Amino acid sequence: MLSEPGNRRTNLNLFQISFIALVLVVQDGTCIKWLALGRTAEGWNWSRESCTGARSSGLLERKQARVCRAAPDVMPNLVEAAKDTATVCQQTFRHRRWNCSSIQLAPNYTQDLLGGTREQAFVYAMSAAAAVWRLARGCALGSLAACSCATPPRREPPSPSALTSSSAALGALASRNSFKWGGCGDDVKSASRIAKRFLQASSPPGTGAMGKFMHAVNMHNNRAGRRAVEQSLTLECKCHGVSGSCSVRTCWRGLGSSGPAVAGKRLLQRYSTAAEVKARPGGRLPPLYHHDNLLYTTKSPDYCLPDTKRGSLGTVGRQCNATSSGYEGCEYLCCGRGHVTKTEEILERCQCKWYNCCYVKCKTCRKSANTHECN
């Protein structure tokens, strides 16, 4: 264990060795390079020494490492948040020209996640949202020293008829005053504060006014991600009473079980309506944008052809849907280059029957399937 003095040096070296393949060239200013933490070993024991090791390996900024050393108990939640960010991003963009595959290059990102694009804006916001969601769950589970369950709201819950949860539907005729705050609500407020302290402990990309401006844009997108989780809180209630009468309702505000993907859906809408901003003297943002907007500074390429300088992998060889007119459709995804159709023979089990109530016997059927790939 890391807590044993005799093993501290060994564990620290193992930490640095585990990332030697990841950290080849760490670019300055990649404030989301901490997402590479998603590839740490399962059950890693975080301590002050391992936080220093993460800093030495280039995965944490100096101030982020300081936050890590001050509260190492938050790091397992941030590791899960890094995994969530990659999963949600790749799932969200899986049918688009830019499919978020470059997030797996962390911490050595390409220009699509370094140059101030709207894709970078989404990843910044999504990483903040995932961090808040995981930290809020950690608070509710009692695994973090800095927070626990959310403080009950001062205002009473709405009447049962205004609730959408099935558990509360039983009490549609109950009195508005027959409720009590209870359970363990997700402490998003405290989680957002912890996430902000960690995420904003990053250095501006470069020096001078332009570096400060880019940093302001990144921090704005972080805030938009945190707010997306705050807006995902829902009222959850359970009814108590004879025969489901719901004479008393116990209510709390929680994030549900859908995970950070709920915030990801909100952020995808804001990705589509992201606003372009230009650098201003003093490195500050113009006071014209709502906190929920995503901001970018550089127009994205069309991602149709490979361009390593701009972080585009191209869409050659990508599978597409020949019958769809959406993002996954061959016309859009293949950028007008056309596609080829391949026929594959698939073997699958079929005509399965039960025999003697104890085993299943199936036949093997051959099935042809067409796949379409972009030229």
Q: What is the DSSP string of 159-218?
A: PGGG---HHHHTTTTS-TT-EEE-S----HHHHHHHHHHHHTSS--SSSHHHHHHHHHHH
pLDDT for position 175: 45
DSSP class per residue in 94-132 = TTSSS-SGGGGGTTS--GGGTS--HHHHHHHHHHHHHHH
Strand partners, 374: 339
Within this chain, do residues 125 and 220 fall inside the same structural domain, yes or no? yes
pLDDT tens digits for 4-14?
334 444 444 44
pLDDT at 343 exceeding the cut of 50? yes
pLDDT for position 173: 39
pLDDT tens digits for 59-98?
898 889 999 999 999 999 999 999 999 999 999 999 999 9
pLDDT at 182 exceeding the cut of 80? no
Measure CA 362 to chain center.
42
pLDDT for position 246: 72
Within this chain, do residues 232 and 351 fall inside the same structural domain, yes or no? no
* Domain end point (choices 290, 314, 338): 314
Within this chain, do residues 308 and 344 fall inside the same structural domain, yes or no? no
**Residue 358's domain is classified under what CATH number?**
3.30.2460.20
**What are the backbone angles phi and psi of residue 17, rounded to the nearest 5°?**
-65, -35
Whole-angstrom distance, CA of residue 362 vs CA of residue 217: 59
pLDDT at 212 exceeding the cut of 70? yes
Range scoring the smallest mean pLDDT among 18-22, 33-37, 174-178, 193-197: 18-22
pLDDT for position 145: 92
pLDDT for position 11: 45
Within this chain, do residues 137 and 264 fall inside the same structural domain, yes or no? yes
Q: Under a CB-based contact definition with an 8 Å cutoff, are residues 260 and 84 in contact? A: yes
**Both tokens assigned to 150:** 């959310």
H helices of the chain, in order, are: 8-18, 48-56, 62-70, 75-92, 118-141, 166-169, 188-199, 208-230, 261-272, 330-333
**Both tokens assigned to 218:** 């990144």
- The pTM for the full model equals 0.82
Within this chain, do residues 243 and 300 fall inside the same structural domain, yes or no? yes
Whole-angstrom distance, CA of residue 266 vs CA of residue 271: 9
Within this chain, do residues 88 and 103 fall inside the same structural domain, yes or no? yes
Average pLDDT, the chain: 83
